[in-house]
Structure 1
Amino acid sequence: MHEKPALTSSELGVLWTTYQQKTMTQRMLEHFIKHADDSQAKIILENSYHELSPYPDKIKDMFQQEGAVAPIGFTQEDVNLDAPKLYDNGFDITLIRMVKEISMGMHTLNITMSYREDVIELFQEMTAITQKHYAICTNYLLEKGLLCRAPFVPMPKSVEFIKNTSYLGGLTPLSKTRHLNTVELANMYHGVEANISGIIMIDGFAKVARKKDVRKFFERGSTIAKDIVHDLSELMMKSKLQVPVAANGNVTDSFVPPFSDKLMMYCVSLFCSFSIGSGSIGTAFSLRNDLPAKMVVIMEDIFSYGHEGAKIMIKHGWLEEPPQT
């Protein structure tokens, strides 16, 4: 019989990271399903949970077949199903949509770092499932009026080429420069949308965090996200663009934590990592020279914040160590 080659270091790394993220998502879905008061939302959450559930076990089996210890990830100790719901007004679907967005990017990147056929197939399957459920969550939020589309602009009537290097200049008080183009606007708006949802998520976490340093960490994160929304919105408004924002959820009056501090800290760390990656892509495709400078400052703030979170997780023994080389 043909024997499978051993897992490479990169395959071991991406499978380990995926296990952490998938077990976190399982715990969140379990709580959201139990407390969903909208029948349509409950079906969406249940379907997502059932399609996701086999994959942590598949990853664990791959580790065990290699004679490697499987990661712990997040267990039933990290969720309190009896806690009242922490979010209302459709934010359960909003939060799962945000997690699916991160998963889509991770799965695609993980395929490029995998070589063994069964590992590639695993990420291909998860990519297809994640894309399907991301679209379902998006359509639900649009139908309920809980998600705003990006601003509409006039359709182009002809193809134009850039004729002057002044196109690369930014908005300054001393010179008349161009407004955002649609590529730049797409990244600006995505940043606003993601951080508005992030504010609601992290405000809920801050409200129920058990440990004082964790609570203060979340409060600082909310302030950083609000500053990012303000800065990016200001850039859009200077280009005569409105920043539409839907009421995509709210924090309830519950003070009972549905998730462990460990899980909430990991969730915020995951969102920080994704935000840095997303900001880097936005910077790479921006042609106005003031935009990368602005994004670098934002990414430095996020990196510093994420580094502070890692220190807190290490302090409390929550940061599981990846397999070593």
Structure 2
Amino acid sequence: MMEKKINLTASEIGSLWASYITESATIPILKYFLKIVEDMEVKLVLETALHYSEEHLVELASIFKQENYPIPIGFSEADVNVKAPRLYSDTYTLYFIRSMGKAGIAANGASVSSAAREDIRKLYSKYLSTAVKVEDEAKKVLLAKGLFVRPPHLPIPKNPEFVQSDKFLRGWLGKRRPLTAEEITHIYMNYINNLYGVSLLMGFAQVAQNEKVKKHFIRGVDLSKDILDVLKILLDESNLPAPMTWDAEVSDSTVPPFSDKLMLFQCNALTSISLANIGGSIALSFRRDIAAKYVKQLGSVGLYAEDGAELMIRSGWFESPPHSADRKELME
């Protein structure tokens, strides 16, 4: 008796589609980085990341064929100029790889938990493992070179304690309590992510050809700097050091290594990650003033994300993701 084929669920096809688009957008950037890289340790990490991305793209295309589902267009070699001069330093490419790995861990972990079909679960378990490996390899090199930004250490308490007053939640008036470990973790995470974003978008703004796209990147730089200013005040109030900026990791080149379409996609992807991070930070920040700051940032970044999506659509670059049938339209 022939085994009945189990169709892909909405979450499974959504994950596969997003993975294909993301991998196809990553490969051109990694190929460019490999052309400009000079540090051999960094080159090895880039080669590992590229190998996995290319392998994943082939596997994903094969699944789409098996399921008789159209293969997404995504991105290609037409979106990269590997002969362009250096735009980012070798150090910054490591930060890019680590950021890519962290995003992969989050996305693939969610895909594992939402998948029902065994082959898709196994696929995303493997992808989760490779994302962990890529992120870890990048982190090892950053640590070896003294470039990894560590959150601060905390004093060790003598005994466990319970919170005795709702003053623990306050933060608007009077003396503010010290930041908790989770609050510090999220402030540092958001701070570093915005440092990364400032440098990435600064480089993009230098080389963008479309004026509207260029202005969007410049607006993103300003938005990230505003967020950094807010987070730095929180760190200063607790006598915690803020990480150094990475502006020096961007060259003065104005020759575009990437298409405006690819850069805008990467900008939108970074904005989506930022929204997810801010949401998690709100949930784990018990001091009301900190949560309020994140809520304000959520509004600003959300509006920026919407404008980025609209710009992609108006430019004819927004590939339609899998969606349900429009029954009203079908019945007309």
Q: Is 309-318 or 237-246 further displaced after alignment?
A: 237-246
**Alignment correspondent of 1:317:** 316
Shift in alpha-carbon separation, 1:100–1:229, aligned structure 2, 3 A: same
Q: Deviations over 1:84-143 (max 9, x none)?
A: 121015111111211111111011111122111111111100100110110111121122
Shift of 1:304: 0.4
**Alignment correspondent of 1:133:** 134
| Identity within the alignment, % | 34
2:97 is the counterpart of 1:96: yes
**The residue matched to 1:236 in structure 2 has which SS?**
helix
Quick check: 1:90–1:249 contact (8 Å CA) kept in 2?
A: no
**Alignment correspondent of 2:12:** 11
Shift of 1:255: 1.1
Quick check: 2:23–2:57 contact (8 Å CA) kept in 1?
A: yes
Q: Measure the CA separation in 2 of the matches of 1:260 and 1:111.
A: 32
- The runs of 4+ residues in structure 1 deviating greater than 2 Å are 1-4, 244-249
Q: Measure the CA separation in 1 of the matches of 2:158 and 2:21.
A: 48
AA in 2 matched with 1:184 = E
AA in 1 matched with 2:272 = S
**Alignment correspondent of 1:196:** 195
Shift of 1:171: 4.5
Shift of 1:3: 4.2
Q: Measure the CA separation in 1 of the matches of 2:45 and 2:27.
A: 14
AA in 1 matched with 2:229 = H
**Alignment correspondent of 1:144:** 145
Shift in alpha-carbon separation, 1:143–1:248, aligned structure 2, 3 A: farther
AA in 2 matched with 1:43 = L
2:42 is the counterpart of 1:35: no
Shift of 1:167: 0.7
Quick check: 2:207–2:254 contact (8 Å CA) kept in 1?
A: yes
Q: Measure the CA separation in 2 of the matches of 1:44 and 1:249.
A: 22
Quick check: 1:148–1:245 contact (8 Å CA) kept in 2?
A: no
Higher relative contact order (CA 8 A, sep 6+): 1
AA in 1 matched with 2:139 = T
Q: Measure the CA separation in 2 of the matches of 1:16 and 1:249.
A: 36
Q: Measure the CA separation in 2 of the matches of 1:309 and 1:247.
A: 24
Q: Is 193-202 or 148-157 further displaced after alignment?
A: 148-157
Q: Measure the CA separation in 1 of the matches of 2:277 and 2:5.
A: 35
**Alignment correspondent of 1:209:** 208
Q: Is 239-248 or 119-128 further displaced after alignment?
A: 239-248
Shift of 1:247: 4.8
Q: Is 32-41 or 48-57 further displaced after alignment?
A: 48-57
CA-based RMSD of the aligned residues comes to 1.4
Q: Measure the CA separation in 2 of the matches of 1:14 and 1:288.
A: 35
Quick check: 1:13–1:323 contact (8 Å CA) kept in 2?
A: yes
Q: Measure the CA separation in 2 of the matches of 1:170 and 1:200.
A: 32
Q: Deviations over 1:292-312 (max 9, x none)?
A: 111010011111001111111
**Alignment correspondent of 2:260:** 261
**Alignment correspondent of 1:223:** 222
Quick check: 1:148–1:246 contact (8 Å CA) kept in 2?
A: no
**The residue matched to 1:87 in structure 2 has which SS?**
coil
**The residue matched to 1:90 in structure 2 has which SS?**
helix
**The residue matched to 1:149 in structure 2 has which SS?**
coil
**Alignment correspondent of 2:67:** 66
Q: Measure the CA separation in 2 of the matches of 1:246 and 1:131.
A: 26
Q: Measure the CA separation in 1 of the matches of 2:44 and 2:241.
A: 34
Quick check: 2:49–2:97 contact (8 Å CA) kept in 1?
A: no
